[in-house]
Chain A
Amino acid sequence: MSDRPRAPGLLDPAILVPAARDAFAKLLPTRLWRNPVMFATAVVAAHVTWVFLRDLATGTGQPVFAGQIALWLWVTAWFACFAEAVAEGRGKAQAASLRRARSELTARRLVNGAAQPAVAASDLTPGELVEVVAGELVPADGEVIEGVATVDESAITGESAPVIREAGGDRSAVTAGTRVLSDRIVVKVTAVQGSTFLDRMIALVEGASRRKTPNEIALTVLLSGLSLVFVLAVATIPALAAWSGGGVGVIALAALFVALIPTTIGGLLSAIGIAGMDRLVRFNVLATSGRAVEAAGDVDVLLLDKTGTITLGDRQAVAFLPAPGVAERDLADAAWLASLSDETPEGRSIVVLAKEKFGMRGRDMAPAHARFVPFTAQTRMSGVDLEGSSVRKGAVDAVMAHVAAMPGARTLAPEVRAAAEGVARGGGTPLAVARDQTLLGIVHLKDVVKGGVNERFAELRRMGIRTVMITGDNPLTAAAIAAEAGVDDFLAEAKPEDKLDLIRREQAAGRLVAMCGDGTNDAPALAQADVGVAMQTGTPAAREAGNMIDLDSDPTKLIEVVSIGKQLLMTRGALTTFSIANGVAKYFAIIPALFAGIYPGLSALNLMQLGSAESAVLSAIIFNAIVIPMLIPLALRGVRWRPAPAARLLAGNLALYGVGGLVAPFVGIKLIDLAVNALNLV
C-alpha cells in the first residue's frame, strides 16, 4: 500500500551508524541531566575515571580494575543514549524526506480572479487564495473553495491511489506537499509555512516536540526515588563498615551503586516512548502528543461510526417490495428511473439490482424530457420528472407525505408501512418509491456488516473496553445492526450534539472516550474526546480538533491505536519490574565481594560462586551495561500484547519480567564471570 521508502528494520545499519554517533553527543551533561538515572551513572563514571587516572599516575591502587569499571560505566551511559538515538533514527529518516517535499513549494496567488507569478510558498499568509493546476504541488494547507481535482497525497499518507478534493462538504481539505493530478482548484490558505500539517508531521516524526508524558514523569519520579534510596544504602556503607575496622573499596562501592539504580529502565525509558510514537507513525497514524498515545491505552469507551467502521460504507439494495396490486417490475422500473442520476452508492446499487433482476439498461433520456430532482435535506427525496410524470424515491415518511398531497392519491399506507417496518426491524433501510399519485412500494437497502467485526468487539470487551455504535438510523434499524455486529451499545438518530453529550456523560463517570470522525460537525466531539482520531480526508476543522490523524482514513484503526497505547505502557511497566528485580542478583554478586575482606564468612552469600571479588564486581557491571542493548529490540518493538483481562496480563507479565528479572542476572553474571576469569581481565 505504501510507496514511501520501506520502513527500515530494527537493526538497519543506516540507522545504527548515525545513532552510534549521536549517542556520544547525548552524553553531554546538558542533555543527560534530563534523565536522572543516567546522569547519576555518568557522574559515578567520571569519578571512577578520575580514580583510575590517579592510580595510573601514582602507580598505586588497582588501575587495571578501575579502568575497566570506568569503561563499562561509560558504556552503560552510552548504551542508554544509543537506545534513544536508535529510536529516533527512523523518524529522522522519514522527516528528511518530508523536508525535501516542503522545500520545493511555490505558489501562484489569485488576485481578483487572475493568477499572479509564482512566489515561494513561505510568503503566503492565511486567507489568501492560490490557484493550483494539474501537475503542481499544493503550496500550503488550505480549503478548496472552487473546483474539483484528483490529488496524489502519497507524500503524506503513503497511499498511492489519488483522492478527490472538492469545494464544499467534508472533502475540502488539501495539504501542503500533495500533488494535484487533474483539473484546477482554488485553495484558500489556512496555515502558513511553519505551522502546516507537513511541518507538524516533520516535528512529530522527528520527536522534536516530544515532551514527557504524565506517566513517564511519574515513572521518572519513581526511578529517581529508588536511586535516592540506593544513594542512602550505598553512601552509608563506609561509615557502617568503619565499626568493623575494615575499609571498603571506593570502586566497588561506585559499581554497587550503578548496579543497583534502575539503569535498565532508566536507559530505555525515552526510547520506549519514542518507539511508541514511531509505531503509530508506521501504522500511518500521527499523534500530536505522546499524551494522546498514552490516553489511547486507557480508553474505556470507543465511539464508532456505523458507516464505514461497522458496516461496509454503502448500503446495498437487495429487494423490491411492491405495494399490493403493483408489479415488482413496475416498482423496479420506477426505482431505476429515479436512481439513474443518483450517484450515491445507494442509488447505484438500485440501478445494479434492477439490471440484475430485470435486465434494465440505460435508455435515451434527452435532457428536454427528463429533469432530475436532487436529494435535499428538506425534501428527503430525489427523483426525476418526465413528460408530465414524476417519480420520487426517498424516506418512507417523506414519500408518503408527498403522495398524500397529490390529487387522487391511492393510499396504501398501512401495507407499505408494514413492509417498511419489517425492513427496518431487520436492520435494513426502507426506501419508498412513488410514481405520480401512486405509491409503488419499498426498496430494501441493507447495511452489510463487515466481516470479522464481531470478533474484534468481543476482544475489546475482554480488554474491558465498551463499544458504542453511532448512527443516524432509527432506533429499530440501529438495534438490529448493533446486535448483528455485537457492539455493546448504540446511539440512534444521532446528531452531532448527541455525540458530544454522550462523550461528556461518559467522561463525567470517569471514563476515557475515543472516537474518530471526519466532518466539520464532528470537530466539537473530536476535541472533547480523550482520543480523537481525525481522518486525513476530513475537513481542516476536524483535523485541528483531533489529537491523532489517521493518514489512511480508516476508522477501524481506532482499535489498533488502543493496542499500541497499551503496549507502550506495558513495555515501561515490564522493564521497570525487570530492572528492579535485577537488583537482587547484583547484591549477591557485589556484597560478598565488598565485605569479603572484613567478614570472610560472608562469602556464603556468593551464591553464584564468582571467581574473585574483582571479577564479581566487574561481571555485575558488565551485565548491567549489556542488558541495555540486549533489551533495545524489546523496547522498540514493545512487549507482546494480546487482548485479555487485566489480571491475566498481569500474571503473564509478572512471570516473564518479574521472575525472569530475578533469575536472568544470576545466570548472566555467572556466565560473564566465567569469561572474565578465562580472559584474566582482573
Chain B
Amino acid sequence: MTIEGWILILGFTLIVAALARPVGLYLDAVYAGRRTWLTPLVAPVERGIYALAGVRPQEAQGWRTYAVGVVVFSLVSALVVHAILRLQGVLPFNPQGFEGVPPAIAANTAVSFVTNTNWQSYGGETTMSHLSQMAALTVQNFASAAVGMAVAVAVSRGIAARGSGTLGNFWVDLMRGVLYVLLPACVVLALPYVALGIPQTLAGSLQASTLEGPTQDIAVGPVASQVAIKMLGTNGGGFFNANAAHPLENTGALTNFIQMVSIFVLGAGLCVTFGRIVGDERQGWAILAAMGSLFLVGVGLTYWAESHASAALVAAGVDPSAGNMEGKETRFGIAASALFAVVTTAASCGAVNAMHDSFTPLGGMVPMVNMMLGEVIVGGVGAGLYGMLVFVLLTVFIAGLMVGRTPTWLGKRIEAREVRLAVFAILAAPFAILVGTAFAAAGAGTAGVQDGGPHGFSEMLYAFTSAGANNGSAFGGLTATSDFWAYGLAAAMMVGRFLIIVPVLAIAGALSTRSPAAASAGAFPTSGPLFVGLLVAIVLIVGGLTFFPALALGPLAEATASGLF
C-alpha cells in the first residue's frame, strides 16, 4: 500500500461527498417539477412526449399503479430488446454483418439490460450490431437507470407523504430522469472522454499495421457515449468485452477516475434528495454516512489484500512488493484497480477495469460481499437507496423497541405490514443467489467452470451474486453461455430487481397513507452517529449471517488454504 494509493481512495471519497449535495438538490428540483436551468430547453420536449403518449403529468398514482407501471414498462422493454437482438441480422446499422443473437443469449441480455444489471454473456464488439448497441442496449442503459431513480424518488415521497396515499407519476418520473438528468449528463461526460481518447464513431473497425507487419482490425464505435451512460446509470455493460480494462474504453488514470466518480455520483446525490423530500436533509446524510463507512472498510480490505502478491506469483519469482498484479492493467495499478472493483460492486455498476477472478481470495471476496449485502453501499442509481431504506426500516424497528416505543420512522409508525414487506424485499436477493448457486454447484452449471476447488465455487457464486444483485460484473473464469447459465441468471436478475421494487413500493404505499406525527423526544433520532453505526451493524449482520456458509465454501476456504493470499 502506498501513500499515493490512499490519497486516491480518500480523494475519491471526498469528491463524491462534495458532489452529493449539488447533485442531490438538482435531482430534488427535477423530480419535484421545479424550474431548473434546463427547463426552458427540455420542458417543451417533455410536454410534447406526454401529449403524444397520453400521460397526464399531474395525475398522482398510488403504489399499485406505480408498481404496475414499472413492471409493465420493464417487461415491454425486455421484449423489444429481445426482438432487436434476434433480428439484428436483417436490421440496418450492422456494418460488420453480425447474425441475429442466439435465443438464450438474447433473452439473458434483454433481461440483463432491463434490470440495470448489464451482465454480458457475449463479447460486445464481436456480437452486437451498432443498432443493437444503440437502439436496444444504450436505450435501456438510460431507461433502466431512470426506472431505478424513479422508484427511489417515489419511495421517498411515500415516506414523506402526509396521508395522500400517492407516490407521484411513474411516467413523469421516468421521463424526467432521462431528459433532465441522464441525457444532459452524458452529453457533458462524453466530451472529456472523447478528448481523452475514447472513440466515438459509427465506423465498424479500423485497420492498423502492427510492428511485426501484419494488419489488425481494431474495433471502434460509439464508445464514449456508451461509457458515459454505463457508468452514470450504473449499468456497467461495456462496449468491448474487456469492459473498462480495454484501452479504448478506459484510456488512462484520468478517464478511470471520472468513470469511478460518475458511478457513485447519482447514488450519493439521491441520498441528499431523499433527505430533502422527507424534509430533513440530515436523514439523507446519515444514510450516506452509513454507506460511506461500509465503503471505506471494503476498499481498505481489498487494497490491503491486493497489495500482497499471491502465493503463485511468489512461487513464480515475481517481485512480491508489486502486489497482486495478475489480471490488472499496469496503467491503473493496485490502488485504482482495488478502488474500481469496490466501487463497481458497491454500486450496482458491474463495469470492471481488472479481472476479479485474479484477485486474492479476500480481495475478491469484498466485491462479492458488497453485492451480497444487497448493493446498499451507494448502490445502483435508485436501487441502492431504496435497498438501504429497507434496512433502515428494520433498524428503526429493532432500535425503536429497544427504547421502549412502538417504532416510528420520520413520524410514522412501523407496523406488521411494513415489516412483512421489508422481510420479503430482504429475502429476494439471498433467494436468487443461494438457490441459483445451489443448482449450479449441484451439477447444473458446473460445465462452464474453469477452476476446481473453492475458486471454481467462487466463480459460480460470483455469477449468481452479480445477477441477483443486478450488478453485472463478471468474476471471470466462467463460460456462462449454456442455457442453464443464460436462463438461470436471467431469472436471478428478475427476482433481484422486481421482488425488491414491488415490496418497497408497497411499503411506501402503506406509509404514504399515514400522516407523520410531530417528532417526539421519546423517539430516537435517525440521523445521529449512533443510528449510522447501528444501521451498518444490521446490514453486516443480516448479510453476513445469510452468506457466511457460501463464503466459507468459496473465498474463505481458498484464503485459509493458501495462507490468506
Is A171 interfacial (CB-CB < 8 Å)?
no
Is A647 interfacial (CB-CB < 8 Å)?
yes
Q: What is the CB-to-nearest-CB distance from A662 to chain B, in angstroms, rounded to a whole number?
A: 9
A602 to B561, CA, bound (A): 8
Contacts of B68 in A (CB 8 A): none
Chain B residues bordering chain A, tally (CB within 8 A): 68
Q: Are A581 and B419 in contact (CB under 8 A)?
A: no
Is B553 interfacial (CB-CB < 8 Å)?
yes
Q: Are B404 and A602 in contact (CB under 8 A)?
A: no
| Residue of chain B at shortest CB distance from A649 | B403
**CB-defined interface of A200-244 with B at 8 Å, one 1/0 digit per residue?**
000000000000001101110110111011101110110111111
A392 to B227, CA, bound (A): 96
A59 to B517, CA, bound (A): 66
Is B211 interfacial (CB-CB < 8 Å)?
no
Of the candidate stretches A71-79, A292-300, A309-317, the one touching chain B is: A292-300
Is A396 interfacial (CB-CB < 8 Å)?
no
8 Å CB contacts to B: which residues of A579-629? Answer: 580-581, 583-584, 587, 591, 594-595, 598-599, 601-605
Is A570 interfacial (CB-CB < 8 Å)?
yes
Q: Are A229 and B522 in contact (CB under 8 A)?
A: no
**CB-defined interface of A419-432 with B at 8 Å, one 1/0 digit per residue?**
00000000000000
Q: Are B541 and A649 in contact (CB under 8 A)?
A: no
Other-chain contact of B457, A233, A240, A601 (Cβ < 8 Å):
A240
Is A658 interfacial (CB-CB < 8 Å)?
yes
A650 to B456, CA, bound (A): 44
A379 to B548, CA, bound (A): 81
A87 to B383, CA, bound (A): 45
Q: Are A232 and B549 in contact (CB under 8 A)?
A: no
8 Å CB contacts to B: which residues of A226-272? Answer: 226, 228-230, 232-234, 236-237, 239-244, 256, 260
Q: What is the CB-to-nearest-CB distance from A653 to chain B, in angstroms, rounded to a whole number?
A: 5
Q: Are B404 and A567 in contact (CB under 8 A)?
A: yes
Q: Are A243 and B457 in contact (CB under 8 A)?
A: yes
Known: A569-B401, A573-B398, A584-B544. Is A605-B552 also a contact (CB below 8 A)?
A: yes
Q: Are A650 and B399 in contact (CB under 8 A)?
A: yes
Q: Are B545 and A647 in contact (CB under 8 A)?
A: no
Q: Are B517 and A509 in contact (CB under 8 A)?
A: yes
Q: Are A654 and B545 in contact (CB under 8 A)?
A: no
A217 to B457, CA, bound (A): 39
Q: Are A650 and B520 in contact (CB under 8 A)?
A: no
Of the candidate stretches B13-21, B170-178, B440-448, B480-488, the one touching chain A is: B440-448
Q: Are B549 and A233 in contact (CB under 8 A)?
A: yes
Contacts of B541 in A (CB 8 A): 580-581, 583-584
Q: Are B441 and A242 in contact (CB under 8 A)?
A: yes
Contacts of A217 in B (CB 8 A): 416
Q: Are A654 and B403 in contact (CB under 8 A)?
A: no
A510 to B542, CA, bound (A): 32
A584 to B456, CA, bound (A): 26
Is B430 interfacial (CB-CB < 8 Å)?
yes
Contacts of B521 in A (CB 8 A): 461-464, 645-646
Is A393 interfacial (CB-CB < 8 Å)?
no
Is A140 interfacial (CB-CB < 8 Å)?
no
Other-chain contact of B404, A511, A566, A598 (Cβ < 8 Å):
A566
Contacts of A651 in B (CB 8 A): 530
Known: A510-B515, A599-B557. Is A576-B545 also a contact (CB below 8 A)?
A: no
Contacts of A603 in B (CB 8 A): 560
Of the candidate stretches B3-11, B294-302, B431-439, B494-502, the one touching chain A is: B431-439
Q: Are A244 and B402 in contact (CB under 8 A)?
A: no
Contacts of A587 in B (CB 8 A): 545, 548-549
Q: Are B419 and A229 in contact (CB under 8 A)?
A: no
Contacts of A381 in B (CB 8 A): none
A461 to B521, CA, bound (A): 8
A645 to B427, CA, bound (A): 34
Is A539 interfacial (CB-CB < 8 Å)?
no
Contacts of B537 in A (CB 8 A): 658
A239 to B427, CA, bound (A): 19
Q: Are A646 and B405 in contact (CB under 8 A)?
A: yes
Contacts of A649 in B (CB 8 A): 402-404, 524
A244 to B449, CA, bound (A): 13
Contacts of A232 in B (CB 8 A): 427, 430-431, 434-435, 546
| Residue of chain A at shortest CB distance from B418 | A218
Other-chain contact of A243, B414, B456, B552 (Cβ < 8 Å):
B456
Known: A464-B520, A510-B411. Is A646-B403 also a contact (CB below 8 A)?
A: yes
**CB-defined interface of A93-130 with B at 8 Å, one 1/0 digit per residue?**
00000000000000000000000000000000000000
Known: A233-B434, A601-B561, A647-B525. Is A574-B549 also a contact (CB below 8 A)?
A: no
Q: What is the CB-to-nearest-CB distance from B159 to chain A, in angstroms, rounded to a whole number?
A: 15
Contacts of A647 in B (CB 8 A): 524-525, 528, 530
| Residue of chain A at shortest CB distance from B460 | A243
Known: A228-B427, A232-B427. Is A605-B560 also a contact (CB below 8 A)?
A: yes
Is B556 interfacial (CB-CB < 8 Å)?
yes
Contacts of A574 in B (CB 8 A): 401-402
Q: Are A591 and B438 in contact (CB under 8 A)?
A: no
A295 to B547, CA, bound (A): 38
Chain B contacts to A: CB under 8 angstroms: 394, 397-406, 411, 414-416, 418-420, 422-424, 426-427, 430-431, 434-435, 437-439, 441-443, 446, 453-454, 456-457, 460, 515-518, 520-525, 528, 530, 534, 537, 541-542, 544-550, 552-553, 556-557, 560-561
What are 10 pairs between A and B in contact, CB < 8 Å?
A221-B419, A256-B549, A464-B521, A464-B523, A511-B518, A569-B404, A569-B406, A602-B560, A605-B556, A650-B399
16 further A-B pairs in the complex, CB-CB below 8 A; given A239-B439, A244-B453, A566-B404: A214-B416, A225-B422, A226-B423, A233-B546, A234-B549, A239-B441, A297-B405, A464-B521, A573-B404, A574-B402, A581-B541, A591-B549, A599-B454, A641-B404, A647-B525, A650-B534
